Amino acid sequence: DLELYLRVSNGLYLKRCIVGGLERVFEFSRNFRNEGMDKTHNPEFTAIEFYEAYADYKDMMVHFETIWEKACIAANGTTTINFQGHDIDLKTPWPRMTCFEALKNIGGLDVDSMSDDDLKAEMKKLHIELDGGYLRGKAILALFDELCEDKLIQPTFITDFPKESSPLCKVHRENPELIE
């Protein structure tokens, strides 16, 4: 018999605080999302959302890895945990790798030097199909998902994805084909 209320994304309110002059804001929130559900996304979760004026994604990576390291130490007395048979070390700093570097180093594909026909052939070989037709960036992301994602065991920041992978993100400051 609890009276409960739903609201839109908590980030909207936090962003208003930033615009209003608060330089750093955060909130722990309970979330439920029913769009885009699949076996890799839990629709119910608790999150911390934080924003900092004049900071970019590189600053956020430092905040994020620091939070996880300190939380792990507080909970376990160490930065190492065992998860699904793997020892995971949350000690900072975490490795940083671009999507293209991951594909080259982990997946064995140098997508920078591959033509669209080469990408399509690789996708065919791996039985990857794209929804909505071929776009180079979507093909690269699909190859990353297939060849790299399950091999990234230790905490690692993957950056500089093709712009087609998330069209609402900020365009990369040095390469307009990528996002930050």
Confidence of residue 104 (pLDDT cuts 50, 70, 90): very high
pTM: 0.83
- Given a cut of 80, whether residue 40 has pLDDT beyond it is no
- Given a cut of 90, whether residue 128 has pLDDT beyond it is yes
Instruction: Considering only residues 107 and 35, tell me which one the structure prediction assigns the higher pLDDT.
Output: 107
For residue 166 the two structure tokens come to: 């998330």
Q: Provide the 10 A C-beta neighbour count for residue 24.
A: 12
- Given a cut of 70, whether residue 36 has pLDDT beyond it is no
